[in-house]
A and B are shown apart, each in its own frame.
Chain A
Amino acid sequence: MTYAIQAEGLAKRYGETRALDGVDLEVPRGRLLGVLGPNGAGKTTAVRVLATLLRPDGGRARVGGYDVVRQAHQVRSLIGLTGQYAAVDETLTGVENLVMIGRLLEMPRAEARRRAAELLARFNLTEAGGRAAKTYSGGMRRRLDLAASLVGRPQLLFLDEPTTGLDPRSRADLWAVVRGLRDDGVTVLLTTQYLEEADQLADDIVVFDHGKVIASGTSDELKATTGAQVLEVRPLLPSHLDVVASVVGDVLGAAPEVAGGLVSGSVRDPALVPSIVRRLDDLGVVAAELSLRKSSLDEVFLALTGHRAEESESAGDRPGDGPGSRAGAHDDTRNGTARKREVAI
């Protein structure tokens, strides 16, 4: 198998904080890797190292077969990068932004114009192409930013939290574009704190926490590693919640979660489910809803890290923000304002 991205033991420190603490990554050509993790986990630092913007303190990485430190220029000619926020020149029009990139990539003027028009059409920006980017909505800027990273037809695309702060509709649009790129054979590395996003888009997922890869695999494999499916029971009568909770807890051997009229517990052995049903029946409890489903990535994350995805943020545990780490502050402060509290989906 050939790899588009290979990283071994990548390390980057900011003062006492290890933004990257020995990260290994392998992305086969043409696959979409989702890098999942909470704010400050080191996702952005990893992207910045792989995109040649940041020199690692330790380890090495190859992108498209070229070393990101010694052959940075070659790496740059293969990659496209879209950051956490739209890196477009707001004073230029959509067309000018794209023509500028095309010209920098040594396209003749006419070709740069043609390519700009093509991308604007693809991203539904043709009408807005003649307006300054500062008049664009957030979703439009993001699309323009993505278009800018595609001008040079990159083999490899880094998308660093491309949908952070977007409304659901713009997010769905962007997902469709990303799927299209993958279908075109582009290798994509996408970071996200939205668990659903990784689930929806990624062929493979790695989970980052505190600068380390703490799990990797396909979405299904990850869900399976926690060993658990989730049983959910909603009694018809809210007064039966306690009874249901004690039965479920009794059979599964661990206290279930009770929230919103719903009792849910991890099931390692699906054979136990009928006995729960029987005992509830004996007690005359009617279940309005009873289901067995795979764990969500959120639950996987909780199982892997011991904390929920959104918790680390309030805990102030953000390696990128260490003192004196100006470059590190890029890691996650920028989206601090744009991010919405909708991490756990």
Chain B
Amino acid sequence: MTAISPAAPGVTVSARPGVAATMRHTATLAWRSLVQIKHNPMELLDLSVQPIMFLLLFTYVFGGAIAGSTGDYLQFSLPGLIAQNMLFASLTTAIGLNTDITKGVFDRLRSLPIARSAPLTGRIVADTLKQVWAFALFLGLGMVLGFRVHTGVFGVIGALALLLAFALAMSWPAVLIGLTAENQEKVQIMAFSLMMPITFTSNAFVPTATMPSWLQKWAEINPVSHLADAVRGLLSGGPVASSATVSLLWAAGLAVVFAPLSIRAFRNRT
């Protein structure tokens, strides 16, 4: 082989991006995930149609039978619905990532001289903001229907912070699913068949006392129960410390297990 050409004169060939550049790339890609809402404002409602439906159905159909009155039930179930919705919404990261991969956008981004992590972090930042929106929507609608916050603004902020912490931990398994699933439909099937049983076998919607004992045992371990309890405590008052701690331990556990798997899957694509 003959001489290898260096880059043409006048072309700056950048070194690896630093922290500031990484943050800029992340912000640009987060913008990219959010700007579409501008063209399709219905998407914000799309995100929320299912939760709103759940909220109304559970409150008005089951509420009276479960708790004696729809108002009492709403006070119990809203935190559970918020927790359930957060879990489902955390999988939008998987769907978005998977769409990018199957459409080739992911390859385009990886062929650019940008921070390697930006395609992931940009999406996660955007999805986190969507989580904030969903939380506000739920709480606002709940309050219109009669839900009352008994703790105050710090309780609300605490509940949101806990939910976001859990959602961030959930983004690791979501990234793994998004990277490895064959297509978007598979992601959705996986999400549904995993999330429905987990969220329903908890105390999110009903007190566990009437469940068979084996199911009660699981419901006591189920992270959704702890999360729902913690959010209840933070919004309606009551003990928080133990349930919040267990929720955070679960979040840490998810991150510890799935972060290395996701990072490996991500690296394997290069």
Taking Cβ atoms with an 8 Å cutoff, the residues of A that contact B are 1-4, 6, 8, 26, 29, 48, 51-55, 62, 64-66, 73-74, 76-81, 83-93, 96, 100-101, 103-106, 132, 148-149, 152, 155, 326-327, 330, 334
Determine if B28 is an interface residue (Cβ-Cβ < 8 Å): yes
Contact (A66, B1) CB under 8 Å given A96-B32, A105-B112, A132-B39: no
> Across chains A and B, which 4 residue pairs bring their CB atoms closest together, nearest first?
A87-B104, A2-B5, A77-B113, A91-B36
Contact (A26, B13) CB under 8 Å given A65-B7, A73-B113, A106-B21: no
Q: Within the complex, what minimum Cβ distance (angstroms) separates A9 from chain B?
A: 11
Complex CA distance for A1 and B105, rounded to whole angstroms: 35
Contact with A along B160-197 (1 / 0, CB 8 A): 00000000000000000000100000000000000000
Contact with A along B63-83 (1 / 0, CB 8 A): 000000000000000000000
Cβ-defined contact, A92 with B32, below 8 A = yes
Cβ-defined contact, A83 with B7, below 8 A = no
Complex CA distance for A148 and B25, rounded to whole angstroms: 16
Taking Cβ atoms with an 8 Å cutoff, the residues of B that contact A are 1-8, 11-17, 21, 24-25, 28-29, 31-32, 35-36, 39-40, 103-105, 107-114, 118, 180, 268-270
Cβ-defined contact, B112 with A87, below 8 A = no
A334's closest neighbor in chain B, by CB? B104
Q: Within the complex, what minimum Cβ distance (angstroms) separates B211 from chain A?
A: 41
Q: Which residues of B contact A89 (CB under 8 A)?
A: 32, 36, 103, 105
Q: Within the complex, what minimum Cβ distance (angstroms) separates B149 from chain A?
A: 35
Q: Within the complex, what minimum Cβ distance (angstroms) separates A112 from chain B?
A: 10
Q: Which residues of A contact B269 (CB under 8 A)?
A: 327
Q: Which residues of A contact B104 (CB under 8 A)?
A: 83-87, 334
A65's closest neighbor in chain B, by CB? B6
Q: Which residues of B contact A65 (CB under 8 A)?
A: 4-7
Complex CA distance for A175 and B35, rounded to whole angstroms: 33
Contact of A4 among B5, B16, B113, B268 (CB under 8 A): B5
Q: Which residues of A contact B5 (CB under 8 A)?
A: 2-4, 29, 64-65
Complex CA distance for A85 and B103, rounded to whole angstroms: 8
